[in-house]
């Protein structure tokens, strides 16, 4: 009987340790997910990117508009 009690105590102790490790792993994973979500939010911030890349984007849109205009004009000229 005493051996059974020792065995169950050992199993309960092991289960408690495993729960602690699992809890720690989950907390660490949640922290990593939170950090990465903040990083991606910052990377995908529309206002920041619009300010930072305004002139290159405006140039690209201007070139596209120019080429599109010539293409549409070519349809009506021929």
Kindly state whether residues 55 and 22 are assigned to the same domain: no
Count of structural domains within the chain: 2
Kindly state whether residues 24 and 55 are assigned to the same domain: no
Using alpha carbons only, how large is the chain's radius of gyration in Å? Answer: 31
In order, the DSSP letters of 11-77 are HHHHHHHHHHHHHHHHHHHHHHHHHHHHHHHHHT-HHHHHHHTHHHHHHHHHHHHHHHHHHHHHHHH
Kindly state whether residues 2 and 38 are assigned to the same domain: yes
Kindly state whether residues 55 and 78 are assigned to the same domain: yes
6-61 pLDDT, tens digit per residue, is 888 889 999 999 999 999 999 999 999 999 999 999 999 999 999 999 999 999 99
pTM: 0.51
Q: Which domain holds residue 10?
A: 1-44
Kindly state whether residues 35 and 2 are assigned to the same domain: yes
């Amino acid at each position: 009987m005493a051996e059974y009690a020792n065995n169950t105590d050992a199993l309960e102790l092991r289960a408690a340790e495993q729960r602690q490790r699992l809890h720690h792993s989950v907390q660490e994973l949640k922290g990593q997910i939170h950090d990465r979500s903040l990083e991606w939010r910052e990377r995908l911030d529309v206002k920041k990117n619009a300010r930072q890349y305004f002139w290159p984007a405006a140039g690209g849109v201007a070139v596209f508009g120019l080429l599109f205009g010539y293409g549409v004009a070519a349809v009506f000229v021929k």
